[in-house]
Amino acid sequence: MPTHPFPPSGLNADSKTLILGSFPSIKSRECGFYYAHPQNRFWKVLGALFDDKSIAQNQALINNIAAKTAFLQSHSLVLWDIVQTCEIIGSSDSSLKNIAFNDIFALLSSSKIKTICLNGTKASALFQKYCKNLGFPLTAQTKEYYKILIPPPSFSQKFNRNINIFSLPSTSPANAKTNLQKLLLSWQILREMS
């Protein structure tokens, strides 16, 4: 059963926004870093949002972990995934089963993170299940380009701060129905919250 192969990336004392996916793709596991599949639009979206052409377009950076980590830290962003171990067929989120979660609450407790952006429907559903299992059911509120997941008041009390949670469309090539322009409109909330 595969285990998540790398820790939260970009994490430092200034981190403010956590971007959670589901589980790394085969390509990401091989490369040792997040969103390494060349067809995944994640880095293109972030590069466009933060006006960083080297991250958005330079294919040489596809596996340049140091440059990507520096980019994340410069924008107070952290990358991680909700799943710690699972059974998975290839890179298919729909095949995930026998899931054990990463300890997201420990990360929130030990950091200043105030925004969580969930990359895709599966990451959102799993994060909702994780929160519900721990006694913090989330209520979804649909906006034009994304959903807001609203925790109960006890969630803010647990972490001594308000944490905004957004469910965003997946940057994966499997999400072909959402083109790059729609992704940028949806993911703009990440820039606004940073």
Look up the CATH number of domain 17-193.
Answer: 3.40.470.10
Q: Which residues of the chain have pLDDT under 50?
A: none
- Torsion sign over Cα 80, 92, 63, 59: negative
Interstrand relation of 97-101 and 83-87 (parallel, antiparallel or unpaired): antiparallel
- CA–CA gap between residue 146 and residue 155 (Å, rounded): 21
- CA–CA gap between residue 153 and residue 137 (Å, rounded): 11
Q: Which amino acid is at 157?
A: Q
pLDDT at residue 21, rounded to an integer: 95
Q: Which amino acid is at 47?
A: G
- CA–CA gap between residue 133 and residue 66 (Å, rounded): 35
pLDDT at residue 58, rounded to an integer: 52
| Domains of the chain by residue range | 17-193
pLDDT tens, 5-35? 889 999 999 999 999 998 888 888 888 899 9
pLDDT at residue 142, rounded to an integer: 96
pLDDT at residue 64, rounded to an integer: 85
- When the pLDDT of each residue in the chain is averaged and rounded to a whole number, the result is 90
Q: Which amino acid is at 20?
A: L
The pTM of this model reads 0.93
pLDDT at residue 118, rounded to an integer: 98
The arrangement of strands across the sheet holding 17-21 comes to 77-81, 17-21, 115-119, 164-168, 147-150, 139-142
pLDDT at residue 62, rounded to an integer: 56
pLDDT at residue 173, rounded to an integer: 83
